[in-house]
Structure 1
Amino acid sequence: MKVLFTFEITNDQKMRLENKFRDVTFQYNKKGDTTDVESVEILVTYSSEVDSSLLERAKKLKWIMTASAGVEKMPLLEIAERNITLTNVRGIHKTPMAESVLAHILALRRSLPSIYSSKESKEWSRPDDSTELMGSTALILGPGSIGSEIGRLLQAFGVKTIGCNRSGRISESMDKTIVFRDLMLELPKADYVISVLPSTPETRGLLTREHFSAMKETAVFMNFGRGDLFNETFLINALKNNEIGQAVLDVFEVEPLPLENELWTLENCVISPHVSGLSSKYVERALIIFEKNLELWIESNVNLENLINLFDGY
């Protein structure tokens, strides 16, 4: 059995794998290098590296472990037709992403941008717009592992949390859970509207112009899921017309965000270059999932953790 990594891991991590799985042959390529994919049964890579041409070359491929959470850009139907197993690293982003969301909220509510700016200009100026999280309400779109962790942290600050998903299934760290069709009822109550939704047929274009109009004029809208959740024109108009207070965006319809995109020019919009999930522990956590699944694969090839439904896309 041969396993190919198309991103670099540390020598200690290589040694651990090789000592634990002595009957497995491991090959470690640099990022994006799919040399020798023709001979591998298992491919450990990022989702952006897998396309139709790679699948055409990888005749022996049986399992793809993507070190990404999102798989929407992968050729899922072709993977299904080949009967290739696909797993991801769902869950490893929850800590850095939840901390990123909380950091942005605290920065805005405690006026940190103004404080930093005053320091740069050597101006002793006290902001007059600082407020508290205590007693506010957050509406979290996608209260899965990441959304629930965001909810847990916010509840510690006295924030009421409302989860929103397609099924209405009760989620951890949510005071209340609603379904997508009830969004319009809850949006006017939310001080923070936070999306960590994946890209699926049900979530693409989920938010409309009417949804932004229904938000509080002081609401902070945050998108840390996928950029196809809404048409960016709707958000730009809402920000320009002061229909909402602020936006914090980590994902976009087109990435990198084009220089001509009007979002760059809006003072009430924070641009984050898709970095909320970054962490020095990223690969370490991904390998924990991979090792568990490799043990299962060797034993029976069934019941793998984070198995992707190739037709639902998650």
Structure 2
Amino acid sequence: MPARLIDGTKLAAETLDRIAEEVRAGVEQGLRPPCIATVLVGGDPASHTYVRMKVRRAQAAGLATRRVDLPATTTTERLLTTIEALSADPEIDGILLQHPVPPQVDERAAFEAIAADKDVDGVTLTSFARMAEGSGGFSSATPGGILRLLAEYDVDLEGIEAVVVGQGPILGRPLSALLTAHGATTTSCHVLTKDLRSHVERAELLVSAVGLPGLIPGEWIRPGAVVIDAGYSHGKGDVDFDGAVERAALITPVPGGVGPMTIATLLDQTVQAWRTHV
């Protein structure tokens, strides 16, 4: 029997509807709306597209937005000054620094300039530590969205054999930490992993976040596994969907699986921050 599809578009829409209702109720009570600030350095077309999409979704849910676009020649010092000012602004609830930044900018220093209570994208080391400890705080947006999908489809993480393919600082690493904090036995694979197939074949839960179409053939998928394809390149995921759908129990489509939940989680965490600021 083909796998059941995990519908990220549906859950994201439900999440955004809930957010809009909560914001509407707060504004009717005389509160200011939540506000998310986006910071974009340079002219990368894909980054501009992502930021426009996030701003549109935020505004549609009733959030206020503040967009800060800086030139590609921006220095680390200027970017830090910009982020520190946003962190100190009481009208700002969440700060999103669009990744990646130009090579002359110290991205890690820029992330660390975001105040912990406004790190709604979960990119600071403080947020990572809290994820690893399971002590609350804001999750990285895409990993947090993946956990919400798993919960929506009643995937029990306690004791599950989980394999995460990809160790990027925005997705792979924080997701591995989150899964482990929720009781999974987690293996983190990367470009140096020997015999990737052997790891994938034993995974009860497989998450791939590399961005290399066809990296994982369908025949590698363990029968009955849950497959979360968080890779994306030219409209395709990392996993051979046609092959995997015949073996998995649950699987995310690409697109329409993980992607929609990233923005929904980002905005939901902005509203969480807003609750503590107003």
TM range (shorter): 0.3 to 0.5
TM-score with structure 1 setting the length:
0.42
> Whose helix proportion is higher, 1 or 2?
2
TM-score with structure 2 setting the length:
0.47
